[in-house]
Structure 1
Amino acid sequence: MRFNTLIKHPADWMTGGQGEHGAVITSRIRLARNLRRHPFPGWAKRDQRAAALDLMRPAVEALPAMKGAFSHELGDLTSVQKQVLVERHLISREHAARGDGSAAVIERRQTFSLMLNEEDHLRMQAIRPGLQLTAAFSALSELDTNLEESLEFAFDPTLGYLTTCPTNLGTGLRASAMLHLPGLVLSDQIGQVLQAVNKIGLAVRGLYGEGTESLGNLYQISNQSTLGESEETIIRRLERVISQVANHEQNAREKLLEDDPEMVSDKIGRAYGVLRYAHIIDSKEALNHLSLLRLGGTLGYFPTKTVMLCDSLLMDIQPAHLQLHSGRKLSPEERDSIRAEIVRSRLQSLETPDNRMSSNDDKNFSDTPNPNPGDA
């Protein structure tokens, strides 16, 4: 599959709608595996990395789920193409920095993505819309089992799967969800909720994972360790906490509408005005305004399809996507101009927010708030 064919259509998980938990945008499961009797990538010499890649890549491409997949060595991709894959959460920033000896194999609908010779020999991930960690794990576990028929992984009966980083030792599993939490941010409850999440051993990160800031009120919540626990235990605990955080967010939105509807209408209306008519807008400002527009879609200010439109725009206005769209390298000023043009075009048919709809009965709010995610 050609790169442009892969990127031409939005990923399945980008068009999944709100589901039961409107605050949860995506669920992701990642498994780390290393080959037995092969030096781990960080210590391997170039020929050893090449040998491991020659062993893994055919096995991955032969998987039934990866039929017709995009498969390329990173050294054959441009810097913009690699950054587009990072922006779509299909490869990591660290993997994008690698060249010869590393590859990416991505299922055509972008629900599976496998990084070869990243920090570990294999980083496999499955992404699903909404809160579907169990479904994502089930699908990835089947893929992992199929791979074990042709590849021998480094495994210790006591320690489990051996990984480069000790925090991945055991199951090699990292489970995470991307949440949209504007209600908690606007009501100044975000610090309290995230502190409670940290206290029970879960990690909170920004839009692109470790070391990145939260933009557009988007947060990733994930497990921090895997040793000594089963995959099912880790996922059940994470799903429970994420459900509670999503309920907090929904209750925060409801309370904001009850206590200060003018403030909510003002922020959503201002965001709409800027996005509809701005001719220059940087990435951070655009993401923050799209966050409020997405909030308006969930509260009834706009048609519910606005949520899906915002999710698509959140990806398409990223710097590398803009450069790919333009077919050339862009200066920051050019990116800001083209970004505004794309947003204006996509929102052209979106009518002004309907404040009367903010009090309708079509809101999926929880009536039983729980102030502490650890109390489940």
Structure 2
Amino acid sequence: MKSDKKNDHYKKTEKPGFSYPCFSSNAQSIAKECLNAEIFSRLNNLKTQSGFTLYDALKSGIINPDSYVGIYAGDAESYKTFESIFNPVIESYHSINIRELEKHVESATQHHNNKDHVKFFPKHKLELPDPDPEKKYIISTRIRLARNLDGFPFTTSINLKDRLEIEKIVVTALKKMPFQFQGRYKSFYNESIPTGFTKGDRFQEAAGINRDWPVARGVFESDNGKFAIWINEEDHLRIISMAKNTNLSRVFTHLQTALESLEKNLVFAWDPLLGYLTSCPSNLGTGMRVGVHIKLPKLYKKKDCLNDAAKKFNLQIRGTHGEKTEVESAIFDISNSQRLGISEHECCHTLHKGICSIIEMEENINI
């Protein structure tokens, strides 16, 4: 499964005159805030085995001054080679202290006497009451996991040969899924691209993620419409469990069953400290985004109140169709923000508690 050889097809981005300060004065990213001349000098001449450089990591944030995170990893090695910049970015985004996280991981490892105890998706049941029993607000529930295969460069740095190999490996694993996940893989290169599965945005374009599009891209969709895997988008896999209802526990259980099968046939890139390794450091840890599409006509007119509630429960509010889109018909996409330093169950509990509070606000607020 692994492809540890040097990434011969991907050539590192040459940037004549690349020097510090490299971000524009109006750049807003966390990476810009964390980078200084000393870190830049120490890292600028380094590269990973796949040829990934500091400029490659920062390129998207440099080209797009409105980037929020402003840095991507090119492979698992990036988080070690460039840890002087990645660690402060990770601490800032996830509101976590790396040293404290190390202590937590060490304690957990000693308790379980096995570093591998968090390498697999949790098996124990999630039980949460329905946050919207009258079905007045929540339109749909969705859980998305970001995963990369162990031993391959990430989509920011991968060559075409390895990208095709990943597609082949994942499609083979999908054929072994249980009956409730029966469906079909649609290659974007050979078939029309389904609605909602578009080429990456300008941030991903600048990071190199869109290279060779649409070759080796595609989506597997189950016949019942409750499960999908997007192959070779921002990460090798985006694993999605969804339902047009308010039952978060059931959506989570469906995902558990899927991961139990996938983990028998796929090995994911993982680190004892950082969890599942992803192209964007915002997805490190569980790699899980638990979210709902929810209609909030009153809070749509009181967005400051909604934003305050989201901040209190560490939630992210996005537009109707995801990040950097507008809110249409007062329908928000609300999800957990923190993924690192907490468990998959805690991600779900955080969202559930926050959504319950937001629904209560929607019902009681005066406009």
Q: Which of 258, 277, 289 is the aligned partner of 1:162?
A: 277
1:21-32 equivalences under 5 Å are 21-32=135-146
Distance, in Å, in 2 between the alignment partners of 1:42 and 1:65 is: 34
| CA separation of 1:181 and 1:68: change in aligned 2, threshold 3 A | same
Cross-structure match for 1:148: 263
1:215-254 equivalences under 5 Å are 215-252=328-365
Cross-structure match for 1:214: 327
Cross-structure match for 1:100: 215
Distance, in Å, in 1 between the alignment partners of 2:200 and 2:356 is: 30
Distance, in Å, in 2 between the alignment partners of 1:94 and 1:178 is: 22
| CA separation of 1:203 and 1:67: change in aligned 2, threshold 3 A | closer
For structure 2, which runs of at least 5 residues remain unmatched after alignment? 1-131, 202-208
| CA separation of 1:137 and 1:197: change in aligned 2, threshold 3 A | same
What is the RMSD of the two structures over their aligned residues, measured on CA atoms?
2.2
Query: SS of 1:76's equivalent?
Result: coil
Identity of aligned residues (%): 30
Q: Does 1:43 align with 2:157?
A: yes
Distance, in Å, in 2 between the alignment partners of 1:34 and 1:150 is: 13
8 Å CA contact 1:41–1:121 kept in 2: the answer is yes
Distance, in Å, in 1 between the alignment partners of 2:244 and 2:329 is: 18
Distance, in Å, in 2 between the alignment partners of 1:22 and 1:128 is: 16
1:1-376 equivalences under 5 Å are 19-65=133-179, 68-78=182-192, 81-82=193-194, 84=195, 86=196, 91=197, 94=200, 98-185=213-300, 188-252=301-365
TM-score, with length taken from structure 1: 0.56
TM-score, with length taken from structure 2: 0.58
Query: SS of 1:118's equivalent?
Result: coil
Query: SS of 1:75's equivalent?
Result: coil
Distance, in Å, in 1 between the alignment partners of 2:244 and 2:134 is: 11
Distance, in Å, in 1 between the alignment partners of 2:292 and 2:181 is: 27
AA in 1 matched with 2:311: N
Higher helix share: 1
Distance, in Å, in 1 between the alignment partners of 2:184 and 2:364 is: 42
For structure 1, which runs of at least 5 residues remain unmatched after alignment? 1-17, 257-376
8 Å CA contact 1:60–1:66 kept in 2: the answer is no
AA in 2 matched with 1:143: A
Query: What do the CA deviations read for 1:155-178 (whole angstroms, capped 9, x no partner)?
Result: 122221111111111111111111
8 Å CA contact 1:65–1:143 kept in 2: the answer is no
Shift of 1:119: 1.0
Distance, in Å, in 1 between the alignment partners of 2:180 and 2:237 is: 15
AA in 2 matched with 1:250: E
8 Å CA contact 2:290–2:348 kept in 1: the answer is yes
Distance, in Å, in 2 between the alignment partners of 1:177 and 1:245 is: 12
Query: How many residues are paired up?
Result: 227
Query: SS of 1:221's equivalent?
Result: strand
AA in 2 matched with 1:27: T
8 Å CA contact 2:181–2:258 kept in 1: the answer is no
Shift of 1:77: 2.7
Cross-structure match for 1:286: none
| CA separation of 1:200 and 1:123: change in aligned 2, threshold 3 A | same
Query: SS of 2:189's equivalent?
Result: helix
